[in-house]
């Protein structure tokens, strides 16, 4: 994941792939942030 890019701007698919491929360090906090960002995209 490009660190200059907000995860809230990515598509849900990109978020899922980021976690699956460990582009995002899969600590609980990082995964929660990705889940929250995915939720934000779905809810908007």
Partner 1 sequence: MTCVHTLAGVDDESGDDADTGDGDPDGRIAELRDSEGELAECRSDLLALADEDVAAVESLQSAFAAADAVDDESVQRAAEHATEVPLETAGACRGVLGAAVVVTDAGAPNAIPDAGTGASLAHAGLQAGVWTARSNLPLLDDEEFVAEARERGSDLQTAGANLVDHVAANVRETW
CA separation for the pair 8, 25 (Å, rounded): 16
Task: State the nearest-atom distance from the C-beta of 19 to partner 1, in Å.
Answer: 9
Residue 30: its H or E element: helix 28-43
Task: State the nearest-atom distance from the C-beta of 3 to partner 1, in Å.
Answer: 21
Q: Which token pair is 23?
A: 């582009």
Exactly one of 29, 37, 40, 41 binds partner 1 (CB under 8 A); which one? 29
- Give residues with Cβ within 8 angstroms of 11, minimum separation 6: 41
Exactly one of 2, 4, 9, 28 binds partner 1 (CB under 8 A); which one? 28
Residues in touch with partner 1 (CB under 8 A) = 12-13, 16-17, 20, 26-29, 31-32, 35, 39
């Amino acid at each position: 994941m490009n660190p200059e890019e907000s995860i809230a701007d990515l598509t849900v698919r990109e978020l899922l792939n980021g976690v699956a491929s460990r582009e995002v360090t899969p600590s609980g906090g990082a995964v929660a942030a990705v889940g929250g960002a995915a939720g934000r995209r779905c809810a908007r």
